[in-house]
Amino acid sequence: MAKTLFDKIWDRHVVRELPDGTSLIYIDRHLVHEVTSPQAFEGLRLTGRKVRHPELTFSTMDHNVPTDDTRLTIKDPISKAQVEALETNCKENGIHLYGIGDDHQGIVHVIGPEMGITVPGLTLVCGDSHTSTHGAFGTLAFGIGTSEVEHVLATQTLRQKKPKTFKVEYTGKLSPHVHSKDMVLKLIGIIGTAGATGSVFEFCGEAVEALSMEARMTICNMAIEGGAKAGLIAPDQTTIDYVLAEDRPFVPKGEELEKAIEEWKKLPSDPDAKFDRTLVIDASKIAPQVSWGTSPGMVIDVDLPVPGLDDVPGYSAGDVQKALDYMGLEAGQALADCKLDTVFIGSCTNSRIEDLRRAAKVLDGKKKADHIKLLVVPGSQQVRKQAEAEGLDKIFTAAGAEWRWAGCSMCLAMNPDKLAPQERCASTSNRNFEGRQGAGGRTHLVSPEMAAAAAVAGHFVDIRTWNGGN
């Protein structure tokens, strides 16, 4: 029978079908960070269980860490205790840790691919919903809660019900200045934040094949914002070139690598494979996207007015009103009329080197608007190093930006980077929930290029027709 990419990965990992209708699935990689793991390690301690495969478990600190020069000495005692707990837990259990001050520290979903921890055909989990990022490699990657983190630590497996498959085909070519961030925001605008619940996306089509690995990661990163369990993209030559490039210490070597590549090449969905659901989107018609509300599904083309109460499919008039009130917007208003306070370029969605290059290209030789606070936070210390080697940091600081160390930063504002109540932010992150970037803060999700242009203009502009602020 013809199989999808998802079926092939799933079948390769079933340890056994269980009598209760679930499957016991083997987990190849377990990524761990400071926030969702301490209670899991404590659970092991209480039950006297051991980490089954420390060598398949990788850990870093990202959510909590300051990204300014104070990063090595966390002032917040509760954050500090959490970071120290991870250090102790990793040491006691022999787990790889890229802690604060380490050259490879960074956002867990940035360092996984960077270090070759993520390769095609795996199952990969992490106590973090944006684990879907790693699906860009054709690896089944999904977020889990802390009880499941403990389950994976103890057994290297999970009990799972087989999800459904949802193919999203992007036909045609993207217009200039339109990026994978816009592709995924557009999709969520169509299906809503629950539209893919219980499913695994497979993103495919001409526009997806044309994307770099980093751009693919941006799409898969936000699969969860459409409610999906995971997002997948079939591995191809772009994937293999990425995996083989530079120094990725955990990528298999020699004969093992050759054997692995043979297997990876068999992963793409068979031509006649059936999906439970299919959606086709014409990529050539996608405009730069800006979210206007408090859910990633509340998103519009940059040149459209803020919608009215009855104009948002999937949301009740009451919910739209609540979102407009929270965001301080009125139906019919142009997004260009919203004065911004902060621009945040970073997060596991858009903090990789290509994202920074795109933002730098827009900012090169320009200054941010006076009233804007501009924060550029690389996804990993390696991304930071690379950006500095290319002189991007000079462009950012000359434009008036704060150039930071690696971490999640203002995406979820667990560290000191946060919005004040009613501050309005153009953000390259993934969630515009109420209070996400700080209690009362107002988040608009955009691509790095749109964010950089908004920093110069002081408000949103249509990057396709913007004159560069001249």
Partner 1 sequence: MEAFTTHRGILAPLDRANVDTDQIIPKQFLKSIARTGFGPSAFFDWRYVLNGDVNPDFELNAPRYEKRSLLVTRNNFGCGSSREHAVWALAQDGYKVIIAPYRGEGDDYIPGFADIFKNNCSKNGVVTIELSEAEVETIFKAVYGEEGLEATVDLENQKLTLHGESEVTFDFEYDPSVKNKLLKGLDDIEESLLYLDDIKEFETKHATWIHQ
Question: Which residues inside 18-57 make contact with partner 1, applying CB under 8 A?
Answer: 18, 20-22, 24, 26, 28-29, 35-36, 38-39, 42, 47, 49, 55-56
Two structure tokens written together for 168: 């999203």
Instruction: Between 111 and 454, name the residue whose CB sits nearer to partner 1.
Output: 111
The single residue among 15, 304, 309, 331 that binds partner 1, judged by CB under 8 A, is: 15
Alpha carbon distance 241, 158 (integer Å): 31
By CB under 8 A, what part of segment 295-324 binds partner 1? 295, 314-316, 318-319, 322
State the nearest-atom distance from the C-beta of 200 to partner 1, in Å. 11
Contact 466, 457 (CB under 8 A): yes
List the interface residues with partner 1, window 323-342 (CB under 8 A): none
Of 235 and 288, the one with the shorter C-beta distance to partner 1 is 235
Q: How far apart are CA 413 and CA 64, in angstroms?
A: 8
CA distances from 324 to 307, 309, 318, 332 (A): 9, 9, 10, 11
Nearer to partner 1, 155 or 171 (CB): 155
Residue 170: what are its φ and ψ, rounded to 5°? -100, 105
DSSP letter for 37, please. S
Closest CB 26 distance from partner 1, rounded Å: 6
Half-sphere exposure of 23 (CA within 13 A, CB side): 13
> 261, 211, 259: which is closest to 233 by C-alpha?
211
DSSP character string of 441-455: -EEEE--HHHHHHHH
For residue 156, state whether it binds partner 1 (rule: CB under 8 A).
yes
- Does residue 81 belong to the site contacting partner 1 (CB under 8 A)? yes
Contact flag: residue 146 with partner 1 (CB under 8 A): yes
Nearest to partner 1 of 177, 424 (CB atom): 424
Q: Please report how close the Cβ of residue 396 comes to partner 1 at its closest, in angstroms.
A: 26
The 8-class DSSP code of residue 309 comes to T
Residue found by looking up tokens 């990425």 in the block: 242
Strand, coil or helix: 204:
strand
Residue 348 CB, shortest distance to partner 1, in Å, is 12
**Residues 176-235 close enough to bind partner 1 by CB under 8 A:** 192-195, 197-198, 224, 227, 229
Q: In whole angstroms, how close is the CB of 248 to partner 1 at the nearest point?
A: 9
Measured CA to CA, the distance from residue 60 to residue 56 in angstroms comes to: 14
Q: Which one of the spans 173-181, 202-210, 413-421, 451-459 is the region binding partner 1 (CB under 8 A)?
A: 413-421
The window from 81-89, 98-106, 206-214, 367-375 that contacts partner 1 (CB under 8 A) reads: 81-89
